[in-house]
Structure 1
Amino acid sequence: MTLTIARPRSSRREWLIPASLLVLTAIPVLAGALRLTSLASGADVTPDNARFFALPLPVILHIVGATVYCGLGAFQFVPSLRQRHPRYHGLAGRVLVPAGLVAAASGLWMTTVYDLPAADGGKLPLIRWVFGLVMIAALVLGFAAVLRRDFATHRAWMMRAYAIGLGAGTQVLTTVPWMIATGGLDTTSKTIAMTAGWVINLAVAEIIIRRSPAPGGARRGSAPARMMHP
């Protein structure tokens, strides 16, 4: 007689979170992969991609950093993965923090040095700088918190950083419907749509931080393997 132990429903459902995050980031990751392919294959230079061919390093760093950060970061939201593999969370974090810093810093670099399209003008470069700097600050503060074993603060800042890093995925949802409805984006509408993506993500992160404390508590000095944070 074989005894079959059913897998707990909560264990199955917890994978819905990383799956949803991976779906959200799929389009930006695919777009980044196509950009890298065009750079590597020597595609035709057009007004839309000339800046990338003229200075490819920042966009390459941004695509690689953001892909690693958003993709690997999604799995930090799986409690059972940390429970079964206690060292995984910390090892992944050692990859995620540098990847996130590279993604944010290269994004600021591109905003500064590239000759951006007209729709990317106005206040959008300033807004990109604000969110880029906030992401960098959140990663630094989160890293500093874990060094002093303040895991509750670490969790909060890392979730905020991930929310900003995942902005490109949400911005697909805020820009594409607008483009379909109006036929395109001007400077003002693109600024609003892009800003909305970051704001929505941060708002969701703040709700989770305040309403869903880590299992077992996220007190100073508590075991990081039990934490619910990216």
Structure 2
Amino acid sequence: MAAKAFREPLSRERVLAAAVVLADAEGIKALTMRRLAADLGVEAMSLYYHLPGKEALLDGVVETVVAEIHDAVGRPDMTKPDGDWRTRLRQRFLAAREVMLRHPWAPGLLGSRRTIPAGVVAYYDGIVGTLVGAGFSYHLAHRALHAFGSLPLGFVQEIFSPASAGGGMEVDAAEADLTAMAEALPHLTAMVATEIHDVTDPTLGWCDGQVEFEFTLDLLLDGLERLRG
């Protein structure tokens, strides 16, 4: 009698891991309960035992990415007590960015959630702890969090984006958009034309390149150091 093939039991963690893999491969729009079930080789109804619907699935995917950030910043080389506070926060934020670059759909999904994931709150608590441990008051630490915005999570919230305004992200479409607005908005058009990203610069959006991310991060950290003194 032939032995039955072993099938790994379905679990919430396994479902969410598969969801992240699918989103990485085909984008977050491809992530549906039916498609995910097909990838896992189960019936769609089997997923509802672990995640009661699409919104619960998306919340779980965000939790999974945030947990990946926690793992990245919790590495032994990231938790050494020595070193300047700026260096520690810089390493933390850049480690989070490495995670986001692996999952470029994650910033948009994170911003769409109705509630703040508990892991995000815990992550920011660690940032405040670093600041207070370096001599900042809670008042100034609070101001710092406002200034940082989404930088601690490895991305920037874009101000200008052709896609968000109904335009195209492809080079030809973007150039057409720039030509159309050049007369009405000469300074913004010139700025955007000047700042077209280098193809070797890792980006998470139209106006979120690695060079810009690190420039903004260093500017804020250096400014906070002056205030601390």
Q: TM-score range by the shorter chain?
A: under 0.3
Structure (1 or 2) with the greater helix fraction: 1
